[in-house]
Structure 1
């Protein structure tokens, strides 16, 4: 059903009715007097009623105009409240960040955020530490503004920036017999008991592809889905593990763990920052992405 009322002419009518002046209404609405007069004339024609009566230079509402004004006051006030609500929401979202990261990314993210928060006050950040697959899903769905994974993404619907490089290192307890070796061969490792990540982990996938698939006789003692639990198990001597070097910096400095090079094995990998290629991120997310990219330790294609 076609109606003679819309958001534009309702605002014009309400202003004229409240101010009893086309001139004052035009000034308030920041438009011209002819435009206001035309809007009123079109409304009266489409509604087939006279809304205003002119006496001298004054405008007065007719009975029909009074009835309409009672409704337009409510509509205009409701629109103002909606605009204010949206404005507050937009203002709040300008400093709200949602980040999804794999475990390895979490060892670099605090440093990046600390540097960024020196530039942006009152930043509200939510960080989800999860699997690489879930990071990709979160970014694609829009639940996360930025994602960080320690591998190449499975899908092509991302803008990808390599912001750091990591490598897996063979870590052992400080008192482990291998701790004194300058290097070790794969044959020597076949007798050890390994602590491994869950199959969905990027670290597990990398070690499977480059090490474990080469021999059928590896012994997995523990499978653990949390990197801190793996570090604790290493310190207790429950086995050895290929683990992110970034994740054990403190343990290496304190001397509770040691790393041994493995002959002929390269376990380097890029840390990739993901954004959705088909969506524009929030301004604050774009600024953070640029900040991190400017501090990237490596700049090669993922």
Structure 2
């Protein structure tokens, strides 16, 4: 005889039969972020990354609204064990740290860029030379690049860890799956952003370089830097300025002042970089606040 409905065993599951409308919105934001990924062989372009960061902000707004739903908070408290909680909080803290470091670096670049622009405006073409402002920018870039590389290594470690964690016992909790997915796509965007700001092509001139190396660089820059400037579409604003300053520091050893073409090229690149940096600085500030809010919400759920 078949079991009656009253005799059927009852099983509690955390995944709702019909997901909340915010879940498809989050999926859509993640799909948009991953569908426009920059090819690994090209240099990430800053306007594209700025667009992605704006989508990421919208994604965190949806995520926060989803977390704040009482039923989702209840499921997180009920089904998350200590290991799951540690993983979620550790991920949120790492993302917050990386975002803070990137934000600080962008602020430093903005400050040094504005100093260089001010210096160039005060001088005539005949007086232009490698001044303290340019040296300050170059030194700042040298100091921040190792820090950015460490952040990149940390982000890659996060992405690998998230991949290894998939399929765990807590994967049937929809909120945990959503949080992990958002953490993963955020790490991917930060990796591209770190690569774009760090730059890999332009290498600043070192005082200890041999004479033959300096002469090789001098010949290379003099023959190619300006004639092929418009063709180097793979560079972004950071690499343009880095490459130009590397060239100027080398050629300065052969003449006392910059020529008109070099000066105008540098001015144009600084204006472009400054405009991009202003936008990036504002977007990162907003995203940083979103990450702080998400982490605070998780801490309140698990510990207060």
Normalised-by-shorter TM-score class: under 0.3
Q: Which has the larger radius of gyration?
A: 1
TM-score (norm. length: structure 2): 0.24
Higher helix fraction: Structure 1 or Structure 2?
2
TM-score (norm. length: structure 1): 0.24
Higher relative contact order (CA 8 A, sep 6+): 2
